[in-house]
Amino acid sequence: MEIINNKFSIRLKNKRKENGLSQEKLAQLLGVSTGTVGGYEIGKSFPSIEVLVKISTILKTSIDYLIQGHSHEYPENSSEVDKLKEMEMSYQRKEFEGLKSELSLAKSYISQLEKENARLEKELKTKK
């Protein structure tokens, strides 16, 4: 945990500075003491999940980036988030429409099979 914590502390400090925030201002926004933020930044302590979520939101970055360094950055504004949500919904609608189409084809095929089965049963009865 110490190595992750050390890298976390470096990324946290860098992101805080990129966002033009002092330790005092970040602490105020998080509802913690300046010493607590300082502790995070020197690797002395690690934030709770709740505080980590607040940090990622305030610094406009992902928790994944802060902890592991993966560059899945937080969208810069809500319109980007809305676009991503709409893209996901659009994909889900297309997927749903595709499934509806497949279901319709399956129902049609079953109907044809039932008709053919009824015809064959009738033909079999007439031959007996």
Residue bearing the bigger pLDDT, 77 or 58: 58
| Domains in the chain, number | 2
As a whole number, the mean pLDDT across the chain is 84
> Are 10 and 51 members of one domain?
yes
> Are 31 and 48 members of one domain?
yes
pLDDT by residue (tens digit) across 83-126? 666 777 776 777 777 778 888 888 888 999 999 999 999 888 88
Provide the pLDDT for residue 100. Answer: 80
What amino acid occupies position 74? Answer: Y
Query: Cβ distance 61 to 70 under 8 Å?
Result: no
Boundary of a domain, candidates 43, 68, 93: 68
Three-state SS for 18? Answer: helix
User: In this structure, what CATH number is given to the domain that contains residue 45?
Assistant: 1.10.260.40
Boundary of a domain, candidates 29, 44, 68: 68
CA gap 80, 76 in Å, rounded: 7
> Are 30 and 14 members of one domain?
yes
Instruction: Give the range of the structural domain holding residue 113, as residue numbers without chain letter.
Output: 76-128
> Are 44 and 93 members of one domain?
no
CA gap 114, 120 in Å, rounded: 10
Average pLDDT on 9-17 reads 94
> Are 63 and 10 members of one domain?
yes
Provide the pLDDT for residue 1. Answer: 45
CA gap 13, 26 in Å, rounded: 10
Boundary of a domain, candidates 23, 47, 68: 68
